[in-house]
Amino acid sequence: MTSKNKTKEELTSELQELLLEIDSLKILKEKRAEELVIANKELLFQNEEKEKRAQELIIANKELLFQNKEKEKRAQELIVANRKLVFLNEEKEKRAQELIIAKEHAEQSDRLKSAFLANMSHEIRTPMNGVLGFANILRDADLSGEEQQEYLKLMEESGIRMLSIISAIVDISKIESGLMKVNLKELSINEKLDEIYTSFKPEMDRKGMQFSVKKSLPAIKDIICTDPYKIYSILTNLVKNAIKYSDEGSIEFGYNVRTKSEKAVLEFFVKDTGIGIPKDRQKAIFERFIQANITDKMARQGAGLGLSISKAFVEFLGGEIWLSSEEGKGSVFYFTIPYKSPFVGDSIV
């Protein structure tokens, strides 16, 4: 009995101990559960913070990306602006150079015009003095008929020379002011060349020089639609110059039919064996008033307008003018006009 009670007490004691352990374990479990809850909340908070931080990083990254794009855009704008600035600077420099050149050209033009006016005064006074002088001489009743005719002839030559100068001034004034017009009419080129040949032949005979004309088209086909006055002026200016700058040898003028850009043109020429033109002067001689340059060693009697008028007339007629020359051997002046015939059209037949 005593042994059984002891065992019961022991079991009771063990049970109590076990219950205490269970309570202790329960307490630990609850404590651990609370710790786990806290840890879970902490972990949840940390995850939320991480997500929040991740969102902030995404936003920051987008902002950074936007800023980089803005920087690239601004960089491109700066590159474009810089190119525009470089272009504007280049244009300013170019414009400045153009203004300098224009100023130099204007100054040169003023100098040439001043020299032209001085020369023009001399050119007009000379034939005028001739007319007035010979008119006074003709008052002398003792002159013979032959002497009177000689002085009348000299007066006529002076008058023709003065009229030629005035006509040149009128032409260049119309060209400068834009009033020159083209008057198209039918013209026989061969007849016009014969007229010019007949006009200059006596002067060529007096100089003892050979004078010839070349006509490449037969009758009818030589009739073209052009401005007769301008054709006559161009050819007479060129022939006059050839005679003026040639003292011996020969002068030939005429035309050939050529094809240019699949269209027929008449290529006129005036060839002389005169003093020729230096290469550095060959472009300048077509400039207006260049003959008026009193330092020009080649300058002879004349207003210095013939070649510039001829160049302008050729361009009015839709052609071009040029020359080939060698100093001391002679020159060949060429110019073209469209071959517009009312009978054969614009093609060579």
**DSSP string covering 28-75:** HHHHHHHHHHHHHHHHHHHHHHHHHHHHHHHHHHHHHHHHHHHHHHHH
* 68 contacts: CB under 8 Å, gap ≥ 6: none
Q: How far apart are CA 34 and CA 198, in angstroms?
A: 136
Q: Is 222 exposed, middle or buried (0-12, 13-18, 19+ CB in 10 A)?
A: buried
Q: How far apart are CA 211 and CA 250, in angstroms?
A: 6
Residue 225, both tokens: 């639609």
Asked whether the beta carbons of 260 and 335 are under 8 A apart, the reply is: no
Per-residue burial over 183-213, b = 16 or more CB atoms within 10 Å of its CB, e = otherwise: eeeebbbbebbeebbeebeeebeeeebebeb
* 143 contacts: CB under 8 Å, gap ≥ 6: 137, 151
Q: How far apart are CA 294 and CA 305, in angstroms?
A: 14
Q: So what's the pLDDT on residue 18?
A: 82
Q: Which CATH class is domain 114-176?
A: mainly alpha
The CATH number of the structural domain formed by 183-338 is 3.30.565.10
Residue ranges, CATH 1.10.287.130, the chain: 114-176
Asked whether the beta carbons of 209 and 217 are under 8 A apart, the reply is: no
For strands 250-260 and 210-214, give the pairing: parallel
Q: So what's the pLDDT on residue 303?
A: 47
**Tens place of pLDDT per residue across the chain (349 aa):** 566 666 788 888 888 888 888 888 888 888 888 888 898 899 889 998 999 999 999 999 999 999 999 999 999 999 999 999 999 999 999 999 999 998 887 777 776 666 666 666 656 777 777 777 777 777 766 777 787 888 788 888 778 777 777 877 777 778 777 788 888 999 999 999 999 999 999 999 999 999 999 999 998 899 999 999 999 999 999 999 999 999 999 999 999 999 887 889 999 999 999 999 888 888 878 876 655 343 344 444 444 578 888 999 999 999 999 999 998 899 999 999 999 877 655 444 4
Question: Which residues in the chain belong to E strands, given as ranges?
Answer: 185-188, 210-214, 223-226, 250-260, 263-272, 321-326, 330-338
Q: So what's the pLDDT on residue 266?
A: 95
Q: Is 171 exposed, middle or buried (0-12, 13-18, 19+ CB in 10 A)?
A: buried
Q: Is 272 exposed, middle or buried (0-12, 13-18, 19+ CB in 10 A)?
A: buried
Report helix, strand and coil shares of the chain as percent, to nearest 5: 65, 15, 20
Asked whether the beta carbons of 304 and 244 are under 8 A apart, the reply is: no
